[in-house]
Amino acid sequence: MTDWVPEPPRPIVPVPAAGREDLRGRRVLVGHPGLGWRGDLRADAAVVQGPRTYVPVLTEHEWYRAELEQMETFAPLVPVDRVWVEVPAEKPARDEGSLDLFDRLVSLDTPAVRHPVSARLVSGLSGRRVVRMSQTGEHRDLRAVTEPHQNTEGDVCVRVARERDWYRWAWTGQTPKTLEVAVYLLWIE
């Protein structure tokens, strides 16, 4: 074990999809201000029909299957003004541990910023999107495959897989290759 202590990863900030050229494969949220938002979606390149711009949106499962198996799939077209792209913030996360409920209230006009939470504080990790911190930076697009457990060296760890392999597991039944990561290096997005 080293003396290095990881900083939290950057929070996820939703930004409007309108005017962006880089939508293909990006994680997005869709919804209506004041009503709610849906995530775990991926976008394709925007489509212009007359005066309107739409974004083809797929569930992540469908996105990965279409990409990895090179197959066509149906993607509903969502008006671009109802689509928000999830991007890591420019600055690191602040410590959310001391905030009370009223400090965490959000506006319903836009999707909320998602602040990372240490995996040490969360139960039910299996299947959750995680960020692994290392001295080289943030490693995203990972899913926890196990709950925290003690390995043979006595360290508390979680096994993680690349997100694409996590989804491939669903349609092939092939268990993904995993990496054992010390729980203090993992954060829930």
- HEC profile of 83-113: EEEEEECCCCCCCCCCCCHHHHCCCCCCCCC
Q: Give me the DSSP letters along 118-175.
A: EGGG-S--TT-EEEEEETTEEEEEEEE-S--EE-TTS-EEEEEEEHHHHHHHHHH-PP
Task: Express as a percent the part of the chain with pLDDT over 90.
Answer: 85
Interval 7-31 mean pLDDT: 95
The pLDDT assigned to 105 comes to 82
Nearest residue to 187 via CA among 4, 8, 16, 25: 8
User: Which pLDDT band holds residue 104 (cuts at 50, 70, 90)?
Assistant: confident
Nearest residue to 169 via CA among 65, 28, 36: 65
pLDDT digits (tens, 9 = 90+) for 130-168: 999 999 999 999 999 999 999 999 999 999 999 999 999
User: Which pLDDT band holds residue 107 (cuts at 50, 70, 90)?
Assistant: confident
The pLDDT assigned to 5 comes to 83
H helix runs in 28-70, sequence order: 60-69
The pLDDT assigned to 101 comes to 61
Structure tokens that stand for 95 in this block? 């410590």
Contact 187, 9 (CB under 8 A): yes
pLDDT of residue 116 exceeding 90: yes
Q: Is 14 exposed, middle or buried (0-12, 13-18, 19+ CB in 10 A)?
A: buried
pTM for the full model?
Answer: 0.89
Neighbours of 114 (CB within 10 A): 18
The pLDDT assigned to 124 comes to 95
Q: What is the mean pLDDT of the chain?
A: 92
Look at 158 and 99; give whichever has higher pLDDT. 158
pLDDT digits (tens, 9 = 90+) for 80-95: 999 999 999 987 665 5
Match 């096994």 to its residue by tokens. Answer: 159
